Structure 1
């Protein structure tokens, strides 16, 4: 182009081109000079050359690892010589020593997770990972077949074999079916496990992590401590391990704020995140990446993925025939290692379970539970000996969902009237049957059943149970009057102010009487006035958000319901004490499925 401009005598264009040519020539001369001084070719990934060792040395060490046979995790941790039945004895002694160290003079530094061996490095030297000091969070990358799942198993098992459940807990979230963490499910350290690809279950896990974060913040603030290590009784370090992190990010983007908060505050609160993915490119935002100081990269498909974590293309050069080989980069140095896989993860897990039982380590309370089941049979104990002191105090109704845990639900008989609102087939009649069958076997109740007749109108039947024994009876004083309880099905017409049925007046008197508990079922809430008619409402969702909100279900509670909840018999929302929460009603005690049917008295 320069020659063309000279021939055409275009001097102005020549003046524009010459400075650029001089700059390109100077850059080329500088690059050639630098290569000659270093004596090595340029990095094809375009990243800056490593300062800890040259590429030839790293390649030589990697080839040396290829030549060495991988040693098992049992051998690495000194457990290979023990029989499977004796593993728990060794684990118990190690946990004892760890707890003594924690309670000794150096306890001010808190439980340390440093120097956890996970494999071997150059020369057969053990490679250890220090999560709190190098992290406090880690990003693990590796393509399919790189040995990432086995590495996660080895790392978590090594932690569990070093520290008792009172010092370290795990939450495992797997978005590819649970293959990676299934052997770790039985660890006594595990306080949460999601492996069924259920988004509802994963949401509960993320909510529980957020609540645990707030709980620990409150503990630290209450004791005016800098971190959880400064508390009189520090809570266990919580390690959240997420496999297929990119799937979580894609399917639940609105819940990334919980993980960002964990990454930001986890160091001082004793909470750590290990995020695993096949492709690290763009999977972790800058707000999280700023708090992740430990990068572990096994074999990846291209040099850009390797450079994202290591700053070099080394991980892209790992041979596919050597799974488990990777690099640990803590921000200061890159170390090549080979993972030590467990010979039997089940044996090591069983050893931890037996050691926890031997040392009296109480069962760790789970952070969250699975969602409400589709069918909940009533436990036998709830039907027999739960309310011996006050038979008319409450009746078991089902399971309630706090958004994180499912808990047994009891319907208090002292709160006031109960309205059950829902369409046919949802379970209104079954709730009445459940309450009536339990009250029928208890003393001191006058139960009035009201049902609609097939030809129209209503039929009433009253049953009085045996009187309750009391000290007054032994003194010759007549027993107290039985507790009045009305159970009314299909009460829409009776609640209508224009109803001319003979039972209308009696029903309204029972609804308004403070000495009578009335439980009535409605097809709609058209004639229901709250709180004049009832103190507790059990509303079956319809799936129509507008209709459900008009029935009294808050929008925050509707967000907890799934698409199928409007079609599950017995799935409802209880509104009481200014609270609303999903419930799953128990099936009738005779084993019939939950649904509407005829009440017999």
Structure 2
């Protein structure tokens, strides 16, 4: 390649020499810029990377290196880890002055999860999570190098597989420091830590939903393995740091991880769990599917025996972090893990490779929980124009992702139930403005002012009048949307006033959509009075159940939800979800 790029440079140099000999100085000066450009291309193409140290393997990752067995010293003690020369993962991946080109070269080849992890006694140590896995358990005491091992492993996987073939979900229960830099990788579809347990629970629910989705895809294509599909989804790596903390703080969600461990092989989902103490932290069902055990320095021989079958990992010197033993079910290999020289630079180079390949950003597998405040659209009708037959009023949460909270215009009456100060008037105002921005609707807004009910006409039904109604081709009258605030007195069965009578008739009229707000659901009958309800929970279980909030959703609401203005539950038929109403 260098010779092919140097040939034009040689030709241009010959032209410059001939023109100088003939005295054609002006033409020679015109050729000089092109020669300089060819020279720059040749210099860039030259292999500038530093040579590998003596005794180590080539940094190429196209072929797997032989797997040596552990070699004990003369005293029968630990392996002499100090004889293993550790080198950065960038060098093992073959990065040169422009690493993104090396990354692109790997991405255009076939997918491969066989990547370098460090160096062994005689050569480089490669680990194939598909062939030797599909799941791995990493153990080691504090300061042994677990987080560095996970970072190097994930960076190697990202450098060898594009985001269209491999995605990451990081669960860091050590404050979020281990994977904060890896969050910038285009492969990352989720990153949570133990500082927000609600967010971590969403991640585990999303993983279970993704597992179910892949099961359906495999069933639809009659495929026994994800690789047998015409367009298989990318492999998903779930990396957990401090697994024991997850087990202690979210014990109800461990079953989801066990299901991933048992079914993930054929569905392209891999699990890497990292813990300080493997004894009793990983249950038998989960451990039975983890074929790869990597044990760094541990405090006692029992922890080492749990993963390796003997106590050799307890004798690793504390002055050599990153030293480990890998048990893949066939043999136990001693290795020194490769550190990351500059993790931020590696992530930038991977992002540059993504931009060069033109890959679209990978959508997130889950989102953060509902915010405490949702601003209304700045421009009138901006959010509502996307829903021609629905009224937008905020964000809804299905437990995994956020989406727009909307109610149908022609789907029946809408009831807003909640105590004073919870945001009922704000929701009614938002729904009234949403309806006023739609065509074919006549919108009336009734509210209490100084003890009297006042009705305003927000939109009067353009294109329909008494004269037009006499024509045979006259358009149908617009649908009436009547927004009524403080409607408790209108529901009172002893109220025989004209306004209460008109309100009851409107509730029974299929051509009218009544959006009303009440403080209690005592006189509201479902589905006669309303089909859709927006309920603001009050914290009293009986009252909230009576208003329509399902018991399973009610049990997930905490004090923060009760204290947040605008936090409500949208009930539509048998479905219910948490919403944050726009302010």
TM-score range, shorter chain: 0.7 to 0.9
Q: How does 1:423-438 map to 2 (within 5 A)?
A: 423-438=419-434
Aligned equivalent of 1:71, options 79, 87, 98 = 87
Show the counterpart of 2:7.
none
What is residue 396 of structure 2 aligned with on the other side?
Answer: 400
Superposed counterparts of 1:139-150, under 5 Å: 139-150=137-148
CA contact (8 A) 1:176 1:195 kept: yes
Q: 1:540 to 1:57 in 2, by over 3 A?
A: farther
Seen in structure 2, the aligned counterparts of structure 1 residues 271 and 58 have a Cα distance that, compared at 3 Å, is farther
Give a deviation string over 1:213-252, Cα, whole Å, max 9, x none: 1122222222222211222222211111111111111111
1:380-437 Cα distance to aligned partner (Å, 9 max, x none)? 46733752895xx222211111111111222221211100001111111100111223
Tell me by how many angstroms 1:494 deviates: 0.5
Matched, 1:232 2:230: yes
Q: In the alignment, is residue 97 of structure 1 matched against residue 109 of structure 2?
A: yes
CA shift for structure 1 position 57: 6.0
> Deviations along 1:272-306, whole A, 9 cap, x unmatched?
11111111111011111111111011111122111
**Shift in CA distance, 381/150, structure 1 to aligned 2, threshold 3 Å:** farther
Out of 278, 295, 299, the position equivalent to 2:276 is 278
State the shift of 1:449 in Å: 2.1
Give the counterpart of 1:546 among 530, 542, 562: 542
Which residue in the other structure is 1:152 paired with? 150
Structure 2 residue aligned with 1:306: 304
Q: 2:557 aligns with which of 540, 561, 565?
A: 561
Asked if the contact 2:264–2:270 (Cα under 8 Å) also holds between the matched residues in 1, the reply is yes
C-alpha displacement at 1:203, in angstroms? 1.3
Corresponding residue of 1:495: 491
Out of 513, 516, 520, the residue aligned to residue 520 of structure 1 is 516
Is contact 2:407–2:532 with CA below 8 Å preserved after alignment? no
Q: Is contact 1:442-1:465 (8 Å) kept?
A: no
Determine which of 441, 452, 461 is the counterpart of 2:456.
Answer: 461
Cα distance in 2 for residues equivalent to 1:484 and 1:347: 60
The alpha-carbon deviation at position 442 of structure 1 amounts to: 4.5
Count residues in correspondence.
512
Unaligned runs of 5+ in 1: 1-51, 99-110, 588-601
Deviation at 1:543, TM superposition (A): 2.2
d(CA) in 2 for partners of 1:524 and 1:273?
49
**Hey, what does 1:375 align to over in structure 2?**
373
Q: What's the counterpart of residue 113 of structure 2?
A: 113
| Cα distance change of structure 1 residues 540 and 389 upon mapping to structure 2, 3 Å threshold | closer
Mapping for residues 8-23 of structure 1, pairs under 5 Å: none
Partner-residue secondary structure (3-state), 1:521: strand
Structure 2 partner of 1:317? 315
Q: 2:529 aligns with which of 504, 529, 533?
A: 533
Alignment-derived partner of residue 209 in structure 2: 211
| Cα distance, 1:67 vs structure 2 | 4.9
Q: Distance in 2 between matches of 1:532 and 1:272?
A: 51
- Per mean C-alpha deviation after superposition, the further-off stretch among 356-365 and 303-312 is 356-365
Alpha-carbon distance between aligned partners in 2 of 1:462 and 1:386, rounded to the nearest angstrom: 20
In 2, Cα distance between equivalents of 1:389 and 1:190: 31
Change (3 A) 1:180 1:503: same
* Residue matched to 1:356: 354
Relative distance call for 1:53 and 1:419 in structure 2 (3 A) is: closer
Superposed, 1:581-596 pairs within 5 Å as: 581-587=577-583
How far off its partner does 1:519 sit? 0.6
SS at match of 2:236: strand
Deviations, residues 322-362 of structure 1 (Å, cap 9, x unaligned): 21111111122111111111111111112222212221222
Kindly state the Cα deviation for residue 117 of structure 1 after the two structures are TM-superposed. Answer: 0.2
Aligned to 1:329: 327
Say whether the 8 Å CA contact 2:445–2:482 is kept in structure 1: yes
| RMSD of aligned residue pairs (Cα, Å) | 2.5
Q: Say if 1:465 and 1:88 are closer, same or farther in 2 by CA, change over 3 A.
A: farther
Partners of 2:577 and 2:250 in 1: CA distance: 22
Tell me the TM-score normalised to structure 1 length.
0.80
Which of 197, 200, 221 is residue 199 of structure 1 equivalent to?
197
Give, in angstroms, the shift of residue 207 of structure 1.
1.1
Check conservation: 2:383, 2:392, Cα contact below 8 A. no
1:94 is paired with a residue of what secondary structure?
Answer: helix
8 Å contact from structure 1 (residues 73, 341) kept in 2: yes
Match of 2:442 in 1: 446
Q: Give yes or no for contact 1:113–1:131 (8 Å, CA) kept in 2.
A: yes
After alignment, is 562-571 or 285-294 more displaced? 562-571
State the alpha-carbon separation in 2 of the partners of residues 531 and 420 from structure 1. 14
Contact 1:441 1:465 in 2 (8 A): no
Task: Extract unaligned runs of 5+ from structure 2.
Answer: 1-68
Aligned to 1:420, which of 416, 422, 430? 416
Q: Work out which of the residue numbers 79, 87, 111 in structure 2 matches 1:62.
A: 79
Q: Give the CA deviation at 1:443.
A: 4.6
1:222 lines up with 2:234 in the alignment:
no
Is 2:129–2:135's contact at 8 Å kept on the other side of the alignment? yes
Answer yes or no: is the 8 Å Cα contact 1:467–1:479 preserved in 2. no
On the 8 A contact 1:443/1:465 being kept in 2, the answer is: no
Sort the Cα spacing of 1:196 and 1:263 in 2 relative to 1 into closer, same or farther, 3 A. Answer: closer
Q: Indicate whether 1:578 and 2:574 are aligned.
A: yes
Residues of 2 paired with 1:501 and 1:247: CA distance? 63
Instruction: Indicate the SS of the match to 1:343.
Output: coil
